[in-house]
Chain A
Amino acid sequence: MRRVVLVAAALTAALGVPAAAGTPRITVYAASSLTEVFPQIDARPHYSFAGSDELALQIGEGAPADVFAAASSRYPEDLYRRGLVEKPRTFALNRLVLIVPTSNPAHIGSVFDLRRPGVRLVLGAASVPVGKYARQVLARLGLDAALHNVVSEERDVKGVVAKVVLGEADAGLVYVTDVKPVAGKVRAIAVPARGQPTVRYEIAVVRSSRHRAAARSFIARVLGEVGRGRLRAAGFLAP
């Protein structure tokens, strides 16, 4: 009998069931583009970084998230309408940038070179925010022809970055904030201001959370002095 208790205790510990004492350790579901900055703002939560659409779907299916932070207003607003999260708040803005491998094998000098036949372009899938924004950029600049050069549609922005860092792709459209972590491995080429979409990051408490107070204080931290400072340092814009 005692062994059963021990095994159960070990299992509980291993599965990360929080201890009764102290602040509960919350779980934050956040867009891939927040992978570097969120742990800087608060190292304590469990983080799950992925494409915003995938995270929204998981929360819709009852995933044990306490906070949802997306690279788009669409998914938090949708979950809010369905009563699954509390009122979302905008905490940052972002811009898009073109990245090429440092060796720049396709000799790309501006976004307008993306139309050139044979350029291997990687975008996010149309269903994930970064892919939707990238298509907006191309449409606004009259570069729809570049869509013929797409060789892979990635499930999140880090997938796009990885393909360019490895030199497998000639170019990719990612968030400005994704460049700093891979500085030296890629070259960033600015996207003209008239091509820039509005990239709005929203954050909300998940209604089914059992730690709503802790979730709210995490959001307060992101919106507060610490969060604003770290977000700015990472290249995000203030809303």
Chain B
Amino acid sequence: MRRVAFTAVVTLAAALALGFLLLPVVAIFLRVSPGDLLGRLNDRVALDALTVTAKTNGIAFALTLLVGTPAAYLIATRRFPGRAVVVTICELPLVLPPAVAGIGLLAAFGRAGLLGGSLDAVGIRVGFTQAAVVLAVLFVAGPFYLRQAIAAFEAVDPTLLAAARTLGAGPGRTFLRVALPLAGGGLGAGAALALARGIGEFGATIMFAGSLQGVTQTVSLAIYAQFGVDFTQALAMGALLVVVSATVLLAMKVVPGWRRSPSTSPFLFAPSSSL
């Protein structure tokens, strides 16, 4: 009898949780017909926003992989004093509210900010440009990749790397031919998460980059801008972001390589094993 009651309680809790989480997502799609949603995406504001999002996120994503991968490899494979602090720095933006990221970026790269004056002096203007959007995405989404990449490289058996070195491979070759393929699963999962987070970036961007159609207005900002003007349009763009995010998450569960890596913690904020 007690077992039945327990099962009933947990089932009810699960149903409640699922229903609550699903309802807003389903509501977006139920409010407007799919045809209308698609039609609304073929509109100047939506197309401009999609272009800006694709371009800024493409650049930020490439930079994240290019800089993040070697950086993560170093942090994961070396033991040095203050390493816990370094890993914490990499993870800090994950838990910072986007608004804090926004004012931080302003204080650093804004015209009156730490580097802003020097940048302005050499003719580089960051504020209100796509560069500002890229910086915001890098800061907010990059750590999702960095964190995961550190964990992935840490999980690579160090004896394999040592063996590659013994067999005559240089450090660069060992990294490219041994460490990278072995950590591939975790890197892929981290990259997917960073991409999904970057595409949805909102708070830091609106504070740091402003919002101008065709220049800095990403899809998230366009949803916010259209929300008071044309709710259906905002819904259509919202639906698109839901589809993109769901695809990324689903890919993480389905793409076998991404799942296989033992280091791929399903918990975003699980402490890195180095801590």
Pair B227/A57 contact, Cβ less than 8 Å: yes
Pick the interface stretch among B106-114, B134-142, B190-198, B241-249: B106-114
Given contacts A167-B112, A168-B106, A168-B111, contact A122 B210 (CB under 8 A): yes
Pair B127/A168 contact, Cβ less than 8 Å: yes
Name A94-151 residues within 8 Å CB distance of B: 105, 120, 122, 125, 127-128, 150-151
User: Measured between C-beta atoms, what is the minimum distance from B208 to chain A in Å?
Assistant: 9
A54 lies within 8 A of chain B by Cβ: yes
How far, in whole Å, are A102 and B229 apart by their CA atoms in the complex? 34
User: Measured between C-beta atoms, what is the minimum distance from A106 to chain B in Å?
Assistant: 11
Main DSSP-derived SS at the B contact region: loop
B225 lies within 8 A of chain A by Cβ: yes
How far, in whole Å, are A154 and B211 apart by their CA atoms in the complex? 7
> What is the chain A residue whose CB lies nearest that of B126?
A168
B224 lies within 8 A of chain A by Cβ: yes
How far, in whole Å, are A127 and B231 apart by their CA atoms in the complex? 12
Partner of B228, one of A54, A151, A153, A168: A54
Pair A168/B110 contact, Cβ less than 8 Å: yes
Q: A125-B211, A127-B228, A167-B110 are in contact. List 18 more A-B contacts (CB 8 A).
A: A54-B227, A56-B228, A57-B228, A105-B111, A122-B210, A127-B229, A150-B212, A151-B127, A151-B128, A151-B212, A152-B128, A153-B213, A155-B211, A155-B228, A166-B111, A166-B112, A168-B112, A168-B210
Listed by A's residue number, 25 A-B pairs whose Cβ atoms lie within 8 Å are A53-B228, A54-B227, A56-B228, A57-B227, A57-B231, A120-B128, A125-B225, A127-B228, A127-B229, A128-B228, A151-B127, A151-B128, A151-B215, A152-B128, A152-B209, A152-B211, A153-B210, A153-B225, A155-B224, A166-B111, A167-B110, A167-B112, A168-B106, A169-B127, A169-B128
Residues of A within 8 A of B (CB): 51, 53-54, 56-57, 105, 120, 122, 125, 127-128, 150-155, 163, 166-169
